[in-house]
Amino acid sequence: MQTRTGVRSERVAAMQARELARFAAGHARSASLRERAKASMPRGVPMSWMESLYEYPPVFAETGAGSRFRDVDGHEYLDMYLGDMSGFCGHAPVPVVEAVGRRMAEGNHFLLPGEDAIVVAEHLAERYRLPQWQFTLSATQANTEVIRIARQLTGREVVLMFDGKYHGHGDPTLVVLEGDRTVPELQGLPGSVTGQARLVQFNDVAGLEAALAPRDVALVLTEPVMTNVGIIEPAPGFHAALRELTRAAGTFLALDETHSLVGAYGGMAGEFGLATDFLTVGKAIAAGVPLGAYGMTEEVAARSLPAGGHQLAMGDAFAEIATGGTLFANALAMAAGRAALTEVLTPQAFDRARELGTRMADGVREAVAASSLPWNVAQMGTHAYYGFAPVPARNGAEARVNDDPDLRALMRLWMVNRGVWESGWWLGPTVSVAHDEADVDEYVAKFGELLDELTHPQRENTTP
């Protein structure tokens, strides 16, 4: 049966069965390790996402360098997923490897500040145009702390986000729309989270205004460009309206650049010239070494973290906002962040990677056009996304309607079987600062072969 994507559903099913068999035959060592691991780890993985993120059994990784990594079965993969963008520096970038080695040899954690933290904070302030910074171990924790600060300073509890978002695995952000109702996104969450969160559609100014009207929203948390339901670009004037409406409602605004920072040297907030009260980053800023951070205005910093602080007394209520963690801003993470930000993620590296991103997006568009498929291709700097509809989605609801999970799962599996680690349905391929022209051309060529086989079954691909 022909679907709206232009690919016959029976073709998808037949290819999926064949490719799963091919995958199983080629990953015996990973399968053996997974069975062994089940005795000590649920599902045979140290973190459940390592199984649930993939439509095929997880492989066990062994080594990585630059734009590629190898698994325990000896397969090498061109990495276009980058660990959900945390590997944007590439695998094992030399400046970070050297910095981490030195720091471990000299001591990695003291629960005290070091000079690296000053350098990283100064660099982030210049790059992202917010003067004051605090550090965590992840972007989830950075967003959680921003929410707590906004709640304390406003006396409100509600956080407003946009349908299709992902801002980490903290309780306040794990909600979704079910019809017109906000419900917990996953099991294990308290039902009370639905009363502390509100969701509207991205690019819907009227809906945003209505949601802010009760004046009970502490914070609007959003990406400059939505990246967890494909690439959803802001409509002209949307961000200006967002900033105006939040100010009028007495609501703080936070821009989460955890994914979108790969789009431009100063993130997409810098690319668009956006004003904000908070900005959060993580993942790639320390080359995948755990580090998250959030910037804020001078006014917010002065109100939330006044000079002097308070002495923590056992049994007494602590007067500061609930931020911090024992391992936050540890010396090892700060050394990795300093090396990654100042030596790897340079303006020159971004310029080159963005050129490669355009080369990749153009190549994917040409392959789609050559196959006469009714798809669109969107680009955000180094990151691209192919959507199964003629025009890009404007919000999360449209993105879900446009998607075909079975087709995307097959495409990902087909690519993995041919040495390309493709991204999940919510992302699309990303070029890192470690990729080169040959990598991009390899990706585009294999993507074209895949589309040719999807649309011309008689040309079944047998590429090793």
Alpha-helical (H) ranges within 273-346 are 298-304, 331-339
CATH number assigned to the domain comprising residue 163: 3.40.640.10
CA distance 217 to 322: 19
For the residues of 147-210, what is the DSSP string, one character each? Answer: HHHHHHHHT--EEEEETT----SSGGG-EEEETTEEEESSTT--GGGGGSEEEE-TT-HHHHHH
> What are 69's strand-pairing partners?
64, 77
CA distance 253 to 444: 38
CA distance 53 to 72: 19
CA distance 68 to 272: 32
E strands of 312-447, at which residues? 376-380, 383-387, 420-421
Flag whether 394 is in a domain: no
Q: What is the pLDDT of residue 395?
A: 97
CA distance 25 to 178: 40
Q: What is the pLDDT of residue 146?
A: 98
Q: Residue with structure tokens 């006044």? A: 306
Which structure tokens are listed for 68?
């590629």
Pairing of strands 376-380, 158-162: unpaired
336 & 360 share domain:
no
Decide: residue 147, CB within 10 A, 0-12 exposed, 13-18 middle, 19+ buried: buried
Flag whether 313 is in a domain: no
326 & 430 share domain:
no
Which structure tokens are listed for 306?
């006044």
- 1, 8, 16, 290 from 367: Cα distances, Å: 23, 18, 21, 37
Flag whether 83 is in a domain: no
Q: What is the pLDDT of residue 82?
A: 96
Flag whether 256 is in a domain: yes
Report the alpha-carbon angle 55-56-59, nearest 5: 130
51 & 129 share domain:
no
Q: What are phi and psi of 307, to 5 degrees?
A: -60, 145
Q: Which of 300, 326, 344 is the last residue of a domain?
A: 344
99 & 124 share domain:
yes
H or E element that contains 272: helix 267-272
Q: Residue 302 carries which side chain, given as an amino acid letter?
A: A
Flag whether 397 is in a domain: no
188 & 325 share domain:
yes
Q: What is the pLDDT of residue 424?
A: 76
209 & 125 share domain:
yes
H or E element that contains 97: helix 94-106
Flag whether 82 is in a domain: no
Q: Which of 62, 84, 106 is the last residue of a domain?
A: 62
Q: What are phi and psi of 462, to 5 degrees?
A: -120, 20
Which structure tokens are listed for 321?
């906002």
**Domain residues for 47?**
1-62
Q: Helices 9-26 and 437-455, interaxial angle, to 10°?
A: 130
361 & 443 share domain:
yes
Q: What is the pLDDT of residue 124?
A: 98
126 & 238 share domain:
yes
304 & 187 share domain:
yes
Q: DSSP letter at 343?
A: I
Task: Render each residue's pLDDT in the chain as its tens digit; 464 residues.
Answer: 567 899 999 999 999 999 999 999 999 999 999 999 999 999 999 999 999 888 899 999 999 999 999 999 999 999 999 999 999 999 999 999 999 999 999 999 999 999 999 999 999 999 999 999 999 999 999 999 999 999 999 999 999 999 999 999 999 899 999 888 889 888 998 888 888 999 999 999 999 999 999 999 999 999 999 999 999 999 999 999 999 999 999 999 999 999 999 999 999 999 999 999 999 999 999 999 999 999 999 999 999 877 665 555 555 555 688 999 999 999 999 999 999 999 999 999 999 999 999 999 999 999 999 999 999 999 999 999 999 999 999 999 999 999 999 999 999 999 999 999 998 767 899 999 999 999 999 999 999 999 999 998 766 665 55
Expressed in angstroms, the distance from the first to the final Cα of the chain is 29
Name 106's Cβ contacts closer than 8 Å, sequence gap at least 6.
none
* pLDDT tens sequence across 413-458: 999 999 999 987 678 999 999 999 999 999 999 999 999 999 987 6
CA distance 223 to 226: 5
Q: Which of 12, 47, 62 is the last residue of a domain?
A: 62
Q: Residue 463 carries which side chain, given as an amino acid letter?
A: T
109 & 198 share domain:
yes
pTM of the model: 0.95
Flag whether 297 is in a domain: yes
CA distance 72 to 133: 40
Flag whether 392 is in a domain: no
H or E element that contains 402: helix 396-402
Three-class SS state of 255:
strand
| Count of the separate structural domains present in the chain | 3
CA distance 234 to 174: 22
247 & 338 share domain:
yes
197 & 333 share domain:
yes
